Amino acid sequence: MRLENEMNKEWIIEQAKEKAEAFFHTRDPAHDYWHAHRVAVWAVKLAGEEGADAFVCELASWLHDIADAKLNESEETGLFHVEEWLREYVKDEKTEQKVMGIIAAMSFRHGDSNEMTSLEGRVVQDADRLDAVGAIGIARTFAYAGKIGETLHRPDLPGGEKRETALEHFYNKLLRLKSLMNTKTASEIANTRQKFMISYLEQFYSEWEGKR
């Protein structure tokens, strides 16, 4: 049982995990419980490297995609659900505000506008972006493409077509993430994963064109 007036951090994290598991039960493989799990693991690691509040980083990681506009009627609806959950389980206004601030600003769309201000926010944003690059980032791209009925590649399309094909997503987002990392550790990891993605694309085009 949680003691009155005392925030039991381990208990809260366990509740967040249960919330994530229930919410993502019917979602696509690109936005599921295991994505939240990987983000949480990296957020805790990066928090240790950067001196950030690991509890805030981990909590925000487990809850971040519950507010995703793609998984709700709207972004506002998603944020409302997260805020309700925090009020019920955390009951600490300062922590609630930190987590809500992170989740509201951390998406690729918002983050690209330099809206992330807290150290914890930068850490969670990096952890989320790391899961969008490298081998897992590639897997998630094609998993989501399958869900929305997106074709793999259309060489007949003009360049710059947003979300027209799975491969175009590499250029619209994945290959841009390395330069958007906030922390040194995440930048170094992203650099390695970037090289893998470029190598993958080279192999993809080679096979597509029947070269090898």
Question: Any idea what the CATH number is for the domain that residue 169 is in?
Answer: 1.20.58.1910
Q: What is the pLDDT of residues 85-121, one digit of tens each?
A: 999 999 899 999 999 999 988 755 554 544 688 999 9
pTM as predicted: 0.87
Looking at the structure, do residues 82 and 140 belong to the same domain, yes or no? Answer: no
Cα–Cα distance measured from residue 88 to residue 175, given in angstroms and rounded to the nearest whole number: 39
Query: C-alpha distances in angstroms, 35 versus 9, 27, 31, 127, 169?
Result: 21, 11, 6, 10, 18
* Structure confidence at residue 147 (pLDDT): 86
Looking at the structure, do residues 101 and 15 belong to the same domain, yes or no? Answer: yes
Q: Which token pair is 111?
A: 């983050």
The total of structural domains in the chain comes to 2
Q: Is residue 164's pLDDT more than 80?
A: no
Q: Is residue 146's pLDDT more than 60?
A: yes
Which domain range does residue 210 map to? 132-212
Average pLDDT, the chain: 87
DSSP 8-state code for residue 152: S
Higher pLDDT, 4 or 203: 203
Looking at the structure, do residues 210 and 148 belong to the same domain, yes or no? Answer: yes
- Does residue 123 fall inside a structural domain? no
* Structure confidence at residue 81 (pLDDT): 87
Looking at the structure, do residues 96 and 176 belong to the same domain, yes or no? Answer: no
Cα–Cα distance measured from residue 201 to residue 135, given in angstroms and rounded to the nearest whole number: 12
CATH number of domain containing 95: 1.10.472.50
Amino acid at 123: V
